[in-house]
Amino acid sequence: MTFDIAIVGGGIVGAATFYKLQKKYPELTMALFEKENLLADHQTGHNSGVIHSGLYYKPGSLKARNCIDGRHELVAFAKEHGIDHDICGKIVVATEEKELEFLEKIYKTGLENEIEGLRKIGPEEIKEIEPFCEGIAGLHVPCTGIIDFRTATAKMVELALAINTNSELHLNTEVIGIEKDNNSSTLKTNDGVYNARYVVYCAGLQADRMAKKDGVALKEKVVGFRGDYYELTEQGHHKIKHLIYPVPNPDFPFLGVHFTRMTDGEIECGPNAVFTFKREGYGKTDFSLRDTWDALTYKGTWKLFFSNMSFGINEYRRAFSKKLFLKTLQRMVPSLTMDDIKPGRSGVRALLLREDGDTRDDFKIIHEGNSIHVLNAPSPAATASLSIGNYIAKEVEEKFKL
């Protein structure tokens, strides 16, 4: 079977790319390939469900531009198509004097990124917004929200398929080999062989492997980090109203454990961040020899480990100790007890790790021959997905002369 454009990867970035390309080129036939039997079954379906404001990202970066533009477009999309969402706002809370300097830096970044409604708040107003939260200073970010990303992903694909009835969705279809000539790519899958003039790879946790299959000379590797969540029990539910975040540690590449109200009414606490021995493993003891070998024979992994040794040890201790996890949560909500939380789900984040161990790279999207590869799309990629789709549509137009 032959298509004009194939998109590999059925997370929200792949779905948004499919949707935006099909809107731009309604006459072209397209196919979306997803190896699982469901869309959004990995990073998209296991994230915290937050519509990010763009508060933390370097002004002018792809993350900042796409997050802010994507947020506006995603909210409009959710309103138009009846997708569960709520622009409930969040607070970022400093609990120690040493955090105030970085809180101020975040505030200035937010102003540069023109985050609407962003303002400083003190201890009294923190408690007005979140009565059980304790902090010495904070930021109120009213444009942050929550959404059902799985439903949003499915709707994007549904709309794309309605534009051209010859376009197709292929679930349970894993691309296991790629052959190229000057005019097209041949995708060898577990369900047959497909041809496409152009291919966009949005493979998430498998992005580096797919790039290498496609002949890209890639030095970096994707390394997975599992994030475990707890949920508030019925007796603890009343202690959180919206979203509460700590001031992130500038030396650590994650935002820290936070509280998130979900669209189904549940409240999650987390995630932590621990190296995972299986890229698509959501259990604490999940293991893949291939994934572990890939990560532990890569020097960038060890550079990251050694530069974040104390953080990593603490994260691992907390992963296996409810008591330590609770202690972290109590920094912001001291009244929480062991009976207020229960184990929840887990997710895995893909980070394209440089050889020097740096995880702070911007979104990375490259063009190679008749292909485009989304190599690095960590948070806030789900929020930014429709804007990323626009960006890729422009790249397709410019690079492929369509």
Structure tokens at 317: 């201790």
Given a cut of 80, whether residue 360 has pLDDT beyond it is: no
Beta strands of 156-220 (E only): which ranges?
Answer: 168-170, 175-180, 185-189, 192-201
The CATH homologous superfamily to which domain 2-45+150-220+361-399 belongs is FAD/NAD(P)-binding domain (3.50.50.60)
**Angle subtended at Cα 370 by Cα 366 and Cα 373, rounded to the nearest 5 degrees:** 30
Query: CA nearest 18: which of 27, 28, 31?
Result: 31
Beta strands of 142-290 (E only): which ranges?
Answer: 145-147, 168-170, 175-180, 185-189, 192-201, 221-232, 243-246, 258-261, 267-270, 274-275
Q: What is the dihedral of CA 371, 377, 383, 385, to 10 degrees?
A: 0
| In the chain, % of residues over pLDDT 70 | 99
Report the phi/psi class of residue 43: left, alpha or beta, with left for phi > 0 and alpha for psi in -120 to 50.
alpha
Average pLDDT on 299-314 reads: 88
Which letter does DSSP use for residue 96 in this model?
Answer: S
Query: CA nearest 359: which of 374, 373, 347, 376?
Result: 376
What residue ranges do the domains of the chain occupy? 2-45+150-220+361-399, 90-142, 221-353
Tell me the per-residue pLDDT of 43-93, one tens digit each, with 9 for 90 and over. Answer: 999 999 999 999 999 999 999 999 999 999 999 999 999 999 999 999 999
| In the chain, % of residues over pLDDT 90 | 90
How far is the C-alpha of 50 from the C-alpha of 273, rounded, in Å?
17
pLDDT given at position 340:
98
Instruction: Work out the end-to-end distance of the chain between its first and last CA atoms, rounded to an integer number of angstroms.
Output: 21
pLDDT given at position 313:
85
How far is the C-alpha of 318 from the C-alpha of 272, rounded, in Å?
8
pLDDT mean across residues, the chain: 95
The dihedral sign for the CA sequence 39, 42, 43, 45? positive
Q: Is 287 exposed, middle or buried (CB count within 10 Å of its CB: 0-12, 13-18, 19+)? A: exposed
Q: Which is higher by pLDDT, 227 or 314?
A: 227
CATH of domain 221-353: 3.30.9
pLDDT given at position 253:
66
Given a cut of 70, whether residue 24 has pLDDT beyond it is: yes
Average pLDDT on 354-364 reads: 88
Which letter does DSSP use for residue 249 in this model?
Answer: P
pLDDT given at position 146:
98
Given a cut of 80, whether residue 2 has pLDDT beyond it is: yes
Q: Report pTM.
A: 0.96
